[in-house]
Structure 1
Amino acid sequence: MAGILITKEYGYVLATAAASALYLTCLGFQVGKYRKAAGVPYPYAYAERADAEKDPKKNLFNCAQRVHQNNLEIFPVYNTLLLISGIKYPLYASYAGIVFLLGRAVYSSGYLTGQPSKRTRGGFYGLGLLALLGMTGSTLYELVLQ
Structure 2
Amino acid sequence: MSIVIGTSYVWNIVTATVMGLQAAGFAGCASRQKARLDLPHSAEVGSRAAEKLSDEQNEEFTRFQKVNQSHIDYLPLAQSSVLLAGLFYPKLSAYAGAAYILGRFVYSVGYIKCGPEGRKYGVFFICPSIVTLLGASLYGSFKALSLV
Same fold (TM over 0.5): yes
Give matches, 1:1-146, under 5 Å. 6-48=5-47, 51=51, 54-113=54-113, 115-124=115-124, 125-145=126-146
| More RCO (CA 8 Å, sep 6+) | 1
Asked whether the equivalents of residues 96 and 129 of structure 1 are also in contact (C-alpha less than 8 Å), the reply is yes
Supply the distance in 2 between the matched residues of 1:118 and 1:19 (Cα, whole angstroms): 23
**Maintained 8 Å contact 1:53/1:59:** no
Residue segments in structure 1 that go unaligned for 5+ positions in a row: none
Cα pair 2:31 2:41 within 8 Å, conserved: no
SS of 2:113 mapped into structure 1: coil
Deviations 1:59-81 (A, max 9, x none): 21211111111111011111111
Task: Give the % identical residues.
Answer: 26
Q: Which amino acid in structure 2 is aligned with residue 32 of structure 1?
A: S
Q: Is the 8 A contact 1:34 1:57 kept in 2?
A: no
* Partner Cα separation in structure 1 for residue 91 and residue 41 of structure 2: 42
CA RMSD of aligned residues (A): 2.3
Q: Aligned residues, how many?
A: 144
TM-score (norm. length: structure 2): 0.86
